[in-house]
Structure 1
Amino acid sequence: MNLKIVIIGGGSSYTPEIIEGIIRRHHSFPVTEIVLVDIEEGKEKLQIVGELSKRMILKSGKPIQLTWTLDRKKALVGADFVSTQIRVGGLQAREKDERIPLSHGFIGQETNGAGGIFKAFRTIPVMMELAADIHDLCPEAWMINFTNPAGMITEALLKHSDHKKVIGVCNIPFNMRHSTAEILNVSPDDVEIEFIGMNHFVFGRKVTVNGQDRTEEVLEKLKKGLDYSPANIVNLGWSSTFIDSTKLLPNPYHQYYFQTKDVLTKDIKAFEENGTRAEKVQELEKSLFDLYKNPELQDKPKELEERGGAFYSDVACSLMDSIYNDRKDIQTVNTFNNGAITDLPTDAVVEVNSIITKNGPEPISVGPLPPVVKGVIYEMKAFEELVIKAGISGNYNDAYTAMIMNPLVRDEKGSKILLDELLEAHKEHLPQF
């Protein structure tokens, strides 16, 4: 029996992660074919990653055929799963997303604020085209989307594309669960966090270990400096007052919204002294690909963990394994709400724990939003809908409303300055505008 996975954005430095994840699960998820796909600009990286992936598979002894190509449509034929990890415009575009807002005194970040809006604007049309190809060429395939901003991209596809077998994944809930396990000195497999909210704006409401409620203990540890931030976010810590008042586990991205002044001060200082995170990632990418070129390398190098999305293979591969085997286990994914959060529309995409079946995720009911964060989650979901609308319409006024309604911008004149400058900077990748 054939089991084919296509990885869109196959030349990404993250690809060895997913190859490792597939190899480790081959006993239960017997993949027979992997095709790495990229675009002309990524041809060299695709070749390097393809060669490393082949060496990894050869060392494992698993009977997996691996190829790489620039022909996306040919690759998609017969696919069972399509994993997406693209960055439209590359790291150079990310650098603009960070530099331009920071130069005007606003947060510059790749998935939040003005930068996150423009990443969505560049990415939505490309992902819509990809979804159309999947629907035409492998309509039964599950699309596992790791492309950021994952929640918005997943909602855009589920609502506006013909392909409905789409699930969004993010490594933030994974990081939070594993870091929580570390501070409790227990196995991550025994930890469950009840997540409520949306991608990059999700809260942990309850922590259990083997069914025992350990929430209070974790919150106390959090006040003392628990750090579950990925490599791309410097943890500033949380005050006792914030934790005692909300009684929720914030995720690392909440710093941008609840510690905006401190984050902006830190980021502007770093920007002026050392450049943006995007520039550091470009240096890291260069060193990673230098490692990947080594014909003796047969494993994912530990240095990959310095990337902000490290460990996502455990998320993406576990999800594919569970769908394939109809495991009915619980994983945290981005999917239609379907009543899980009673305060939000059925067709809003949320990030919640779900039962993973062969027919996809079944979100677990968590009831109403905690009153303390109900308003901000309403606001963020409404903002996301504005971004999706503008990303599809290409209408200037739609884009402006998305910009001014973003909590990290919300400035009448500043919104127009940012919008105009970013539209000009990214015009090559914004055909809808």
Structure 2
Amino acid sequence: MKKFAITIAGGGSTFTPGIVSMLLDYYEEFPISVIKLYDNFQERQDPIGEACKIMLQERHPEVTFSYTTDPKEAFSNIDFVMAHIRVGLYAMREQDEKIPLKYGVVGQETCGPGGMAYGMRSIGGVLEILDYMEKYSPDAWMLNYSNPAAIVAEATRRLRPNSKIINICDMPVSIENTFAGILGLESRKELIVRYFGLNHFGWWTSITDKAGNDLMPQLKEWVAEHGYESSTEDFQHRAPSWKETFRKVKDVYAVVPDMLPNTYLKYYLYPDYVVEHSNKEYTRANEVMDSREKEVFETAAEIIKNGTAEGYEFHAGAHASFIVDLARAIAYNTQERMLLIVPNNGALVNFPADAMVEVPCLVGSNGPEPLVMGEIPTFQKGMMEQQVAAEKLVVDAWEEKSYQKLWQALTLSATVPSAGIAKEILDDLIEANKEYWPELS
């Protein structure tokens, strides 16, 4: 049986040890010969790399492991790139969140002005990794969940149209895990779903079990009263800000009560509420820096100090298992049904063909085959058209180095109240992102 060689791009990420651990957990189903970590920030990658090396030696010493900052070494002779980069790290995420909040606008990692700022940083980084991959391993697939996925997906569709890249997001997976918990099921894999939207911007229209029984009525009854709050262990371990987001789904659902919403829609439907309940001095970026960021690097340091990973655990999360499932679907042509971000091309029949939409796809050796979700209703279509236009303008702005296009993008966001405020936020973001954005004119 073929064993696969994998590079994880973003080797210094706090999510990397969880992905490595998950790859080892799935070794029998998806055998691997090589794992490489790649990052352009050596000081950050070194402790993660050393801890992972110890973990591999103890669990699967037959797997060749390395970590490097050299692109040729990282991307030669591989089958898959699993990419999750964060250009500017959490320090820039903090700016993405706090600058808009200063003007009474939603400050969020992937939504509104913060998401656009992050997108302007991410595009170049993802394209660079794609180019390395295509230079050194042209037959490899990139499985990319670098955020903001919608903007990155539009940029790669437009600027690298022939690349073997699949853009993914773990949020629907996480929510489907919540559905399974509410329904008392073992796993989200017992569900068959129909879903449509953009990344962080969509709705479930049908959820059945494998026998075809309709599970929507039971879920709707729960969500109308509790949102996505549940008694599962997964929910109880979430950060306070995430618990609040899952509870707020109750109000998001009320706007379109015939479908179940993605949690992120709260930022577009209730931006005033979000701002009112945000701490301008201590945002989600601070929460992450004080929790997961510290925990992962402290755990890595302990493993290195003790010379063993025994007794230590890195949380894998929904994204890690999802990315392994996707790699297996491509490697073994499983035709598994998965939610992915793909060019519309008729999947949503009354929506632009060149929009990057999130819909169920059958995945095999040739990549994803989107399933037709039909016509979308007027309200959702209106929201999506506004959002997809804003995302396209961000990519225009990056490609053309255009201040005007980025101002238009911010103005078009449903989270921003006026062109005047959009301009003030943009000018502050330009100042903060001097190191990372193209120079706009």
TM-score bin, normalised by smaller chain: over 0.9
**Aligned residue among 367, 372, 388 for 2:374:** 367
Contact 1:8/1:37 (8 A) holds in 2: yes
CA distance in 2, matches of 1:403, 1:288: 34
Q: 2:228 is paired with a residue of what secondary structure?
A: coil
Contact 2:37/2:68 (8 A) holds in 1: yes
Spell out, residue by residue over 1:168-202, the C-alpha distance to the aligned partner (whole angstroms, 9 max, x if none). 11111111111001011012221122111010001
Q: 1:36 is paired with a residue of what secondary structure?
A: strand
TM-score by length of structure 1 reads 0.92
Residues 1:376 and 2:345 are matched in the alignment: no
Partner of 2:273: 262
Identity of aligned residues (%): 30
Contact 1:150/1:169 (8 A) holds in 2: yes
Change (3 A) 1:86 1:190: same
336-345 vs 311-320, greater mean Cα deviation: 336-345
CA distance in 1, matches of 2:255, 2:432: 43
Q: 2:37 is paired with a residue of what secondary structure?
A: strand
Q: 2:337 is paired with a residue of what secondary structure?
A: strand
176-185 vs 221-230, greater mean Cα deviation: 221-230
CA distance in 2, matches of 1:347, 1:241: 28
Give the Å deviation of 1:413: 1.1
361-370 vs 17-26, greater mean Cα deviation: 17-26
Any residues of structure 2 matched to 1:298-377 within 5 Å, and which? 298=309, 304=315, 310-377=317-384
Letter in 1 for 2:153: T
Contact 2:24/2:60 (8 A) holds in 1: no
Partner of 1:16: 17
Give the Å deviation of 1:156: 0.9
TM-score by length of structure 2 reads 0.91
CA distance in 2, matches of 1:139, 1:241: 43
**Aligned residue among 254, 257, 262 for 1:251:** 262
Contact 1:55/1:298 (8 A) holds in 2: yes
Letter in 1 for 2:100: P
CA distance in 2, matches of 1:245, 1:280: 31
Residues 1:290 and 2:290 are matched in the alignment: no
Residues 1:404 and 2:411 are matched in the alignment: yes
Any residues of structure 2 matched to 1:187-266 within 5 Å, and which? 187-188=186-187, 189-210=189-210, 211-227=212-228, 231=239, 233=242, 234-235=244-245, 236-239=247-250, 242-243=253-254, 245-266=256-277
Contact 1:134/1:163 (8 A) holds in 2: no
Change (3 A) 1:245 1:87: closer
Residues 1:5 and 2:12 are matched in the alignment: no
Change (3 A) 1:261 1:74: same
Q: 2:138 is paired with a residue of what secondary structure?
A: coil
Partner of 1:130: 129
Partner of 1:108: 107
Q: 2:302 is paired with a residue of what secondary structure?
A: coil
Q: 2:260 is paired with a residue of what secondary structure?
A: coil
Give the Å deviation of 1:333: 1.1
Partner of 1:139: 138
Give the Å deviation of 1:162: 5.2
Change (3 A) 1:367 1:300: farther
Partner of 1:186: 185
Change (3 A) 1:8 1:248: same
Contact 1:336/1:346 (8 A) holds in 2: yes
CA distance in 1, matches of 2:253, 2:156: 35
CA distance in 2, matches of 1:45, 1:69: 11
Any residues of structure 2 matched to 1:5-154 within 5 Å, and which? 5-39=6-40, 42-61=41-60, 63-154=62-153
51-60 vs 316-325, greater mean Cα deviation: 51-60
Contact 2:397/2:405 (8 A) holds in 1: yes
Give the Å deviation of 1:302: 6.0
Give the Å deviation of 1:21: 1.9
Letter in 2 for 1:35: K
Contact 1:20/1:300 (8 A) holds in 2: no
Give the Å deviation of 1:164: 2.1
Q: 1:271 is paired with a residue of what secondary structure?
A: coil
Contact 1:336/1:349 (8 A) holds in 2: yes
Change (3 A) 1:418 1:216: same
Spell out, residue by residue over 1:279-319, the C-alpha distance to the aligned partner (whole angstroms, 9 max, x if none). 121112123211121125627966747xxxx3210111110
**Aligned residue among 271, 283, 296 for 2:280:** 271
Give the Å deviation of 1:163: 4.3
Partner of 2:399: 392
Give the Å deviation of 1:51: 1.9
Change (3 A) 1:262 1:25: same
Change (3 A) 1:225 1:302: farther
Give the Å deviation of 1:121: 0.6
Change (3 A) 1:391 1:60: same
CA distance in 1, matches of 2:250, 2:74: 50
Letter in 1 for 2:120: F
Change (3 A) 1:241 1:64: closer
Change (3 A) 1:246 1:302: farther
Give the Å deviation of 1:239: 4.5
Letter in 1 for 2:220: L
Letter in 2 for 1:427: K
